[in-house]
Amino acid sequence: MNYQSIILLFLFVVSHIAFAAEKEKTCNEADWNCHGSFYITAGYVFVHTLFQDNILSLDPPDQATINFSPQSSFPNNASGMRFGFSSGFGLNLPLSYELDYNQVFTHSQINNDLKISRASKSIVGTLAYTVNPKSRLRLSLVAGASVISTYLTATTVSPRPFFSQNTNSVDVDPFFGGSISYQINSKLAIRGVEFYDMATYNRGADGALVTLVMLNYYPG
């Protein structure tokens, strides 16, 4: 299944859940606390990858081998977008789940006649425990896992003869962190999330620090 199909299925599920969502209590909509547990979320993502200093090599045909390290040659700062939905497990439980689609845009770096470009797409599942669920300013602990598809292009630049190589890898990375959210009114909340992504299968990185700035919309 390609990513276009995944996105369409994702939006289909979100639309049906949003249509079925109802307020979990009768209240005054002018009250900031008058909303259900379901929300749709979207926002900005910033990723700082902690690359290793191990030596990798690229072997262009009829050229000398190029040795490089991810730490010095890979772009370690990137940004992108994320959108998804979340819902609680019940009024009396401070637990919720979230499912997101995440895209990090192409970012590049040139070092020693070698240009490295990276981009990624991922599906992210998150569980959250809210420490103070009755408060307007809420603190939560989060943990989950991402299925990440990373696209990497290595291209030689002048004065070297042109050569380009594309690779694509798929990893499953667990993560943990925390979030803080503020309920603006009964429909909107702003949320900041910080977590550490463990690059379990990435031989060039130890992990990544991820920052999210999200806007939550409560349809019900």
The 3-state DSSP class for residue 212 equals: strand
CA distance 81 to 120: 11
Picking from 171, 169, 178, the residue whose alpha carbon sits closest to that of residue 146 is 171
Tokens found for residue 211: 């920052």
Give the class (CATH, top level) of 3-217.
Answer: mainly beta
> HSE on the CB side for 184, CA within 13 Å?
10
The model's confidence at residue 20, banded by pLDDT at 50, 70 and 90, is: very low
Location of structure tokens 């031989």: 203
- The pTM (predicted TM-score) of the whole model is 0.84
At residue 24, does pLDDT exceed 50?
no
First to last CA, the chain: 32
With b for 16 or more beta-carbon neighbours within 10 A and e for fewer, the 132-148 pattern comes to ebeeeebebebebbbeb
Query: 37-69 pLDDT, tens per residue?
Result: 999 999 999 999 999 988 888 888 888 888 889
Picking from 45, 46, 51, the residue whose alpha carbon sits closest to that of residue 202 is 51
Tokens found for residue 184: 């603006």
SS3 content of the chain, % helix, strand, coil (to 5): 10, 60, 30
Query: 106-117 pLDDT, tens per residue?
Result: 999 998 889 999
